[in-house]
């Protein structure tokens, strides 16, 4: 356990798959906080993930390599417990269109109850990423569409691999 550090932000998520929207939030975070830990939740509420936590971590690592103050990790259990474990006083979440608000607000209030010393901060992405979601990208990839405007090359390659491996639309 480290004492909570207001210059250290934890950005938790499923990151299944990592998009330019997530990376836009991370770019802002990297220049706003001294230290950023981006962490793959290994036990997400969402069912049927496409990538394993290890695969998601690897893609994150490659994609954040340009920012020396950003570290990628995986974690299990409650986000607030992991925040306390690494000493982050801030939980960072992305806010897209209005549809994110209710869930994110609920989560922030709950986390505040669980760990009053940890504060949730929201960041909005650039407008062109406001409607970008991991599930939409997976759907496009599944049917062989071009995902290059939405995800970094490492994710694009992994999506293609998955589609091939599962006999998906990218074959042939
Ligand atoms: P989770 O399952 O925890 O919501 P996600 O990987 O879907 O994990 O999202 C992680 C965080 O990033 C969430 O706060 C989500 O609102 C945010 N996010 C997802 N897509 C975008 C985007 N296009 N722009 C900005 N923030 C985003």
Cα angle 43-47-64, degrees, rounded to a multiple of 5:
55
Q: How far is the CA of 95 from the centre of ligand 1 (A)?
A: 7
**Structure confidence by residue, pLDDT tens digits, 63-93:** 999 999 999 999 999 999 999 999 999 999 9
Instruction: Give me ligand 1 centre to Cα 93, in Å.
Output: 7
Catalytic site positions = 22, 46, 96, 134
DSSP 3-state assignment of 146? Answer: coil
- Distances in whole angstroms, Cα of residue 93 to Cα of each of 30, 78, 100, 116, 120: 14, 15, 10, 17, 7
The atom of ligand 1 lying closest to the CA of 18 is 6
Please tell me the residue having the least CA distance from ligand 1 atom 21: 21
Local confidence band at 167 (pLDDT 50, 70, 90 cut-offs):
very low
pLDDT of residue 29: 98
For residue 164, what pLDDT band results from cuts at 50, 70 and 90? confident
Residue 165 in this model has a pLDDT that exceeds 60 = yes
pTM confidence score: 0.93
Which tokens sit at 42?
């290994």
Give the pair of three-digit tokens for residue 37. Answer: 């830990």
Is the C-beta atom of 56 inside 6 A of ligand 1? no
Ligand 1 centroid – CA 123 distance (Å) = 10
Digit-coded pLDDT (tens) for 108-159: 999 999 999 999 999 999 999 999 999 999 999 999 999 999 999 999 999 9
pLDDT tens for residues 23-53?
999 999 999 999 999 999 998 566 789 999 9
For 143, how many CA atoms within 13 A lie in the half-sphere containing its CB? Answer: 5
């Amino acid at each position: 356990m480290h004492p909570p550090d207001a210059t250290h932000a934890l950005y938790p998520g499923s990151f299944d798959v990592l998009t330019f929207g997530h990376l836009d939030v991370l770019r802002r975070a990297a220049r706003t906080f001294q230290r950023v830990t981006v962490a793959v939740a290994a036990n997400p509420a969402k069912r049927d993930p496409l990538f394993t936590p290890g695969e998601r971590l690897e893609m994150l690592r490659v994609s954040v390599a340009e920012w020396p103050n950003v570290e990628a990790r995986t974690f299990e259990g409650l986000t607030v417990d992991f925040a306390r474990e690494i000493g982050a006083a801030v939980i960072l979440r992305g806010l897209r269109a209005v549809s994110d608000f209710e869930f994110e607000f609920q989560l922030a209030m709950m986390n505040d109850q669980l760990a009053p010393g940890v504060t949730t901060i929201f960041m909005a992405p650039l407008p062109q990423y406001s409607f970008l979601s991991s599930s939409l990208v997976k759907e496009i990839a599944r049917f062989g569409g071009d995902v290059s405007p939405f995800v970094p090359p490492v994710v694009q390659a992994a999506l293609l691999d998955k589609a091939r491996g599962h006999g998906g639309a990218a074959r042939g």
